[in-house]
Amino acid sequence: MQEIPRTTKKNPKALLVEGGGMRGAFAGGVLSAMCKLYPASNFDILLGVSAGSCSLAYYATEDRRNYQSHRHIPSIWKHELHGHKFISIRNLFRGHTILNQKYLIDDLIFRKYRLNLKKLKKKIRTPFYITVSNLKSLKPEYIRINDKNILPILKAATSLPLATKGRFVFNNSIYSDGGITDPLPIRALIEAGYKDITIILNHSREYFSLPLNKFLTFFSFPFHSNIRHYLRNEHHLKYNDAKSLLLNPPSDVRLQIMDPSESIPVKITSTVQKDIVALFDHGMEIAEKFFKKRIE
């Protein structure tokens, strides 16, 4: 099992980005603004979950000489993911899953809006980790990203149950969306010694999760009763525990939160462009206000 290494730094700072499918547009807006306002070098570790990992990958590899990521993140969220381009039942008739990972990862992130993979080769950079779920152990793993493993790990991290095949094989392990086993890994960062954590959420901080229904879990993993049982009985408890910790952190832990308004009607599989753009712009606005105070 791959865990977050315990830090030896004094007053280490972490950035945690939650997933949430298309609700990740909020994190996309926040991170687009952060590329210019507060670069990754201000943190000692970056940790992404699910869809949050994709926008975080651009932030982690930003080159401040040309701000390529600052341009790429909004281009993807505002122009490439709406309608039937990314999420559609029609994809099943084209040989793809409902959520077309090949389009997102291969076509957009690794071709049209290429990540700056050279940045991941540099030793002097902020360590970038992605959370995935090991479907055999039903435990989260936190994998450090480099230029060689980023493509398969992004595919594993975005292997959403039902919307995709829900699994991705890498290094003889079967992985899925990290949100299954650790949807908001605040506790993992604290246990690794991080006491100053900036968190980008996809729902408001007051939002708590209900148990997943039997229909959804059955069609997500029809041949794996242990995973279905975990999703129905453990997943919401893990998420709600993290939210309780977020609202009542230990006295020696500083949590700084950026969270969206619940008034923008974007769900995990939303495809309405104006709503996605509104949530993205909302994220940029929140980040600009948040970091303006820090800079001042």
Q: What is the pLDDT of residue 123?
A: 73
What's the pLDDT score for residue 64? 84
Give the model's pLDDT for residue 3. 92
| Run of H or E including 17 | strand 13-17
Position 162 scores a pLDDT of: 60
Least confident residue range of 44-48, 221-225, 268-272, 286-290: 221-225
Residue 174 pairs with which residues in a beta bridge?
169
pLDDT tens sequence across 108-121: 999 999 999 988 98
CA distances from 257 to 30, 182, 186 (A): 11, 18, 12
161/12: higher pLDDT: 12
Whole-number pLDDT of residue 257: 97
Out of 45-49, 62-66, 90-94, 144-148, which region has the weakest mean confidence (pLDDT)?
A: 90-94
What average pLDDT does the chain have? 91
Position 148 confidence tier, pLDDT thresholds 50, 70, 90: very high
Report helix, strand and coil shares of the chain as percent, to nearest 5.
Answer: 45, 15, 40
Quote the CA–CA distance of 206 and 170 in Å, as a whole number. 36
**pLDDT over 80 (residue 144):** yes
Q: Band the pLDDT of 98: cuts 50, 70, 90.
A: confident
At 229 the pLDDT is 84
| Lowest pLDDT segment from 138-147, 173-182, 225-234, 264-273 | 225-234
Instruction: Report pLDDT for 294.
Output: 65
Tell me: pLDDT of 216 over 80: no
Six token digits for residue 44: 């000692």
**Does residue 266 surpass a pLDDT of 70?**
yes
CA gap 137, 155 in Å, rounded: 19
What pLDDT shows up at residue 207?
92
Give the phi and the psi of residue 246 in degrees, each rounded to 5: -60, -40
Decide if pLDDT at 34 tops 70: yes
Cβ neighbors of 249 (< 8 A, separation 6 or more) are: 186, 190, 255
pLDDT number for residue 251: 96
What was the pLDDT predicted at 143?
97
pLDDT confidence tier of residue 25, bands split at 50, 70 and 90: very high
